């Protein structure tokens, strides 16, 4: 018996036939058909074959999921230098219907981000606004731009508050290079911004900038997590927990910081922020200690993908070759999902991390992250490949997995976009 709305008896524009539908937010986990009309889900049922449809997609053997949400993207193309990728290359062309730019635009550049990036994109583009006036130019390559004097609380609060349709959080960095230069003040200012405007603060952990010539100045990367957490509130997000760089959830003695469990118990969230920082070794350690991330976040950008630098990009920065964002391993959001499966999380958990949980983080659970009749047809279809595949992080750790998820296509408001992104990694047989 199909679950349908009152207008569903007529023909559909599209029927996705026979896929494994998984939508934790709406309690679906079964082989079902999905009928779409007018850009919305009109029916979800065991057999819609008898109803006329303009187009029928046979998706047997695939996973049919709520449109994937990438909580950590860098898509301020042409403004953030080599760092910013095209939003549709990271988004719909990679099977991802919503991307959240982490700290690319600032209060000064947000109007340009809206006009030139978010509005023209086929992908739904949202942002966590940079706490810094300068935003995320060149992936924060020039450390001197990120001091407390480069933060204006009032202007950033005003910008976020005036753009809540686009801005769903604030982004800042808590790492040893910045702490050695300026201490914790930037994070205090960023928390003030986020809490004044009532949005989550997303905090990057793990070394980003090199130490200044004067050294660490009494700072210790292993104390940063426990000093920042007291500044954070329920809903704020700890990012890059499994970083291979100093200052993540696992300290130099190989122990998970004792304060993490209590932080999660009082409602702080954890985003993987996979990308160049991710370490299978440290992820396995934290997961064994019961630290399960809420959201995934691919964290792809121009330094960890292979795309030509935009025309007119300046000559290479002298520190670039040592930049912690660099890495040879190639990623995507679906590859990050495969990583989580390989580490022992269940498919249900991993699907929640890219659908229901990020929708909640964005305060958009009423619109995103769930498949249900009457909702927008925001759907991702993945191939669920079985075999023996090789995954690798930038620490050189190789993991062999028997399951690889690969995007086939997505529907954004009912419009199909095939997963033809040039930055999608190919399957590597083990
Ligand atoms: Zn990032």
Quote the pLDDT of residue 313.
66
Q: 250 near 259, Cβ under 8 Å? A: no
Average pLDDT, the chain: 92
The domain locations on the chain are 3-66+370-384+402-418, 68-361
Please state, in angstroms and rounded to a whole number, the distance separating the CA atoms of residues 192 and 203.
13
Quote the pLDDT of residue 174.
96
Phi, psi at 259, each rounded to 5°:
-80, -10
Please state, in angstroms and rounded to a whole number, the distance separating the CA atoms of residues 34 and 44.
5
Please state, in angstroms and rounded to a whole number, the distance separating the CA atoms of residues 270 and 357.
10
The CATH code of domain 68-361 reads: 3.20.20.140
Q: Are strands 62-66 and 379-392 parallel, antiparallel or unpaired?
A: antiparallel
- The string of pLDDT tens digits covering residues 52-62 is 889 999 999 99
CA of 72 to the centre of ligand 1 (A): 6
Phi, psi at 202, each rounded to 5°:
-105, 115
User: For residue 311, what are the contacts with CB-CB under 8 A and spacing of at least 6?
Assistant: none
In eight-state DSSP terms, residue 51 is: S
Q: Which two tokens mark 405?
A: 């998820």
CA of 301 to the centre of ligand 1 (A): 7
CA of 88 to the centre of ligand 1 (A): 17
- pLDDT (tens place) for every residue of the chain, 430 residues total: 456 654 556 699 999 999 999 999 999 999 999 999 999 999 999 988 888 889 999 999 999 999 999 999 999 999 988 889 999 999 999 999 999 999 999 999 999 999 999 999 999 999 999 999 999 998 888 899 999 999 999 999 999 999 999 999 999 999 999 999 999 999 999 999 999 999 999 999 999 988 999 999 999 999 999 999 999 999 999 999 888 888 888 888 888 898 999 999 999 999 999 988 889 999 999 999 889 999 999 999 888 887 766 666 665 655 555 666 666 667 899 999 999 999 999 999 999 999 999 999 999 999 999 999 999 999 999 999 999 999 998 888 999 999 999 999 999 999 999 999 999 988 899 9
CA of 314 to the centre of ligand 1 (A): 21
The CATH code of domain 3-66+370-384+402-418 reads: 2.30.40.10
- CA-closest candidate to residue 294, choices 244, 336, 237, 346: 237
User: For residue 318, what are the contacts with CB-CB under 8 A and spacing of at least 6?
Assistant: none
Q: Which two tokens mark 309?
A: 């630098």
Q: Are strands 379-392 and 398-412 parallel, antiparallel or unpaired?
A: antiparallel
DSSP H helices in 145-206: 153-161, 176-182, 185-197
Please state, in angstroms and rounded to a whole number, the distance separating the CA atoms of residues 360 and 258.
26
Q: Is 366 helix (H, G, I), strand (E, B) or coil?
A: coil
Dihedral sign of CA atoms 189, 247, 302, 118 in order: negative
- The string of pLDDT tens digits covering residues 286-339 is 999 889 999 999 999 888 887 766 666 665 655 555 666 666 667 899 999 999
CA of 204 to the centre of ligand 1 (A): 8
- CA-closest candidate to residue 293, choices 345, 231, 227: 345
What are the helix and strand counts (H, E) for the chain?
A: 11, 16
- The string of pLDDT tens digits covering residues 364-389 is 999 999 999 999 999 999 999 999 99
Quote the pLDDT of residue 2.
52
User: For residue 384, what are the contacts with CB-CB under 8 A and spacing of at least 6?
Assistant: 20, 61, 62, 63, 403, 405
CA of 295 to the centre of ligand 1 (A): 14
CA of 13 to the centre of ligand 1 (A): 38
Q: 356 near 378, Cβ under 8 Å? A: no
Q: Which two tokens mark 411?
A: 């529907």
Please state, in angstroms and rounded to a whole number, the distance separating the CA atoms of residues 337 and 45.
27
Phi, psi at 273, each rounded to 5°:
50, 60
Quote the pLDDT of residue 302.
85
CA of 273 to the centre of ligand 1 (A): 7
In eight-state DSSP terms, residue 293 is: -
CA of 203 to the centre of ligand 1 (A): 10
CA of 85 to the centre of ligand 1 (A): 12
Please state, in angstroms and rounded to a whole number, the distance separating the CA atoms of residues 343 and 285.
10
Q: Which two tokens mark 158?
A: 């005003």
CA of 105 to the centre of ligand 1 (A): 13
In eight-state DSSP terms, residue 283 is: H
Phi, psi at 338, each rounded to 5°:
-60, -35
Q: 421 near 413, Cβ under 8 Å? A: no
Q: Are strands 415-418 and 398-412 parallel, antiparallel or unpaired?
A: antiparallel
CA of 239 to the centre of ligand 1 (A): 9
| DSSP states of 194-239 | HHHHT--EEEEES--SPPPTTTTTT--HHHHHHHHGGG--TT-EEE
CA distances from 68 to 91, 93, 341, 357, 411 (A): 9, 12, 16, 11, 10
All residues with CB under 5 Å from ion ligand 1? 299
User: For residue 42, what are the contacts with CB-CB under 8 A and spacing of at least 6?
Assistant: 4, 5, 7, 8, 12, 35, 36, 373
């Amino acid at each position: 018996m199909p679950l349908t709305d009152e207008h569903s008896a007529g023909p559909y524009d599209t029927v996705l036939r026979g896929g494994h539908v998984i939508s934790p937010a709406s309690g679906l986990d079964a082989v079902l058909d999905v009928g779409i009309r007018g850009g919305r889900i009109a029916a979800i049922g065991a057999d819609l074959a008898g109803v006329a449809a303009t187009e029928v997609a046979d998706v047997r053997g695939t996973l049919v999921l709520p449109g994937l949400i990438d909580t950590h993207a860098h898509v301020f193309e042409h403004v953030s230098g080599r760092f910013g990728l095209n939003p549709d290359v990271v988004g719909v062309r990679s099977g991802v219907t919503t991307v959240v730019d982490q700290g690319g635009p600032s209060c000064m550049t947000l109007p340009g981000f809206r006009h030139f990036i978010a509005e023209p994109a086929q992908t739904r583009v949202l942002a966590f606004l940079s706490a810094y006036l300068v935003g995320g130019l060149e992936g924060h390559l020039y450390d001197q731009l990120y001091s407390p004097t480069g933060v204006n609380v009032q202007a950033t609060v005003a910008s976020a508050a005036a753009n809540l349709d686009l801005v769903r959080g604030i982004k800042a960095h808590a790492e040893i290079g910045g702490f050695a230069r300026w201490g914790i003040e930037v994070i205090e200012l960023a928390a003030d911004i986020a809490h004044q405007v009532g949005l989550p603060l997303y905090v990057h952990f793990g070394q980003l900038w090199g130490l200044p010539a004067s050294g660490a100045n009494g700072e210790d990367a292993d104390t940063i997590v426990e000093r920042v957490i007291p500044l954070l509130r329920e809903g704020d997000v700890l990012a890059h927990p499994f970083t291979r760089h100093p200052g993540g959830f696992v300290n130099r003695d190989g122990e998970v910081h004792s304060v993490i469990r209590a932080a999660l118990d009082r409602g702080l969230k954890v985003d993987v922020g996979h990308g160049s920082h991710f370490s299978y070794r440290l992820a396995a350690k934290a997961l064994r200690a019961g630290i399960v991330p809420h959201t995934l976040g691919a964290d792809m950008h121009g330094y960890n993908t292979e795309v030509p630098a935009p025309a007119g990009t300046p000559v290479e920065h002298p520190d670039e070759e040592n930049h912690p964002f660099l890495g040879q391993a190639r990623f995507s959001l679906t590859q990050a999902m495969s990583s989580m499966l390989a580490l022992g999380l269940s498919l249900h958990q991993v699907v929640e991390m890219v659908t229901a949980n990020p929708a909640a983080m964005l305060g958009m659970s009423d619109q995103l992250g769930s498949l249900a009749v009457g909702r927008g047809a925001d759907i991702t279809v993945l191939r669920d490949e079985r075999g023996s595949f090789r995954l690798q992080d930038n620490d050189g750790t190789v993991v062999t997995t028997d399951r690889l998820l690969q995007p086939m296509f997505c529907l954004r408001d009912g419009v199909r976009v095939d997963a033809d992104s040039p930055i999608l990694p190919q399957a590597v047989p083990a």
